Amino acid sequence: MGLDHNRLSMLLAVLHRHGGVSTAGCDVFANIVGGVRISETGADLAVICAVISSLRNEPLSRDLAIFGEIGLAGEIRPVLNGPERLREAEKQGFKRAIIPAANAPKAAIGALQIVPVTRLVEVMDALRD
């Protein structure tokens, strides 16, 4: 159950190589609430953001939504149903969303602030804002 160990290892390697953030010497645990198994790559970006948040000792905002796939070269790839995910996030009260640039909507979705990203380094900058 939870997150695939091999996927997590790959994400941490990409974070080190393309984000300059090493988790060497750290124990990294990814807990998925409710015993759900996450097999969709759309969770990649959220997992990486959680790791960065933990390493910086800075919690992520409660009103921040994050989704996207991370490629081996540090690129942020689009995921299926991006617009539907954003509409649902806005309905649930999220105020900001970090998403793949290819999933950016043409029109605004309520008051949701969209932060489109194409590379891992852009994600790290977006987390500082």
Summarised one tens digit per residue, pLDDT across range 5-19 is: 899 999 999 999 999
Q: How far apart are CA 10 and CA 88, in angstroms?
A: 29
> Could you tell me the CA-to-CA distances from 118 to 55, 57, 75, 77, 121 in Å, in that order?
22, 25, 6, 7, 9
Tell me the domains of the chain and their CATH numbers: 2-128 (3.30.230.10)
pLDDT per residue over 69-97, tens digit each? 999 999 999 999 999 999 999 999 999 99
> Could you tell me the CA-to-CA distances from 40 to 19, 80, 95, 108 in Å, in that order?
22, 10, 24, 26
- Give which of 78, 117, 77, 110 is closest to 95, Cα–Cα: 110
- Give which of 122, 63, 113 is closest to 93, Cα–Cα: 63
Q: Mean pLDDT throughout 26-31?
A: 85
Confidence (pTM): 0.92
pLDDT per residue over 102-116, tens digit each? 999 999 999 999 999
Does the structure show a pLDDT above 90 at 128?
no
Pairing state between β 2-3 and 113-117: unpaired
Express as a percent the part of the chain with pLDDT over 70.
Answer: 98
Q: How far apart are CA 71 and CA 53, in angstroms?
A: 20
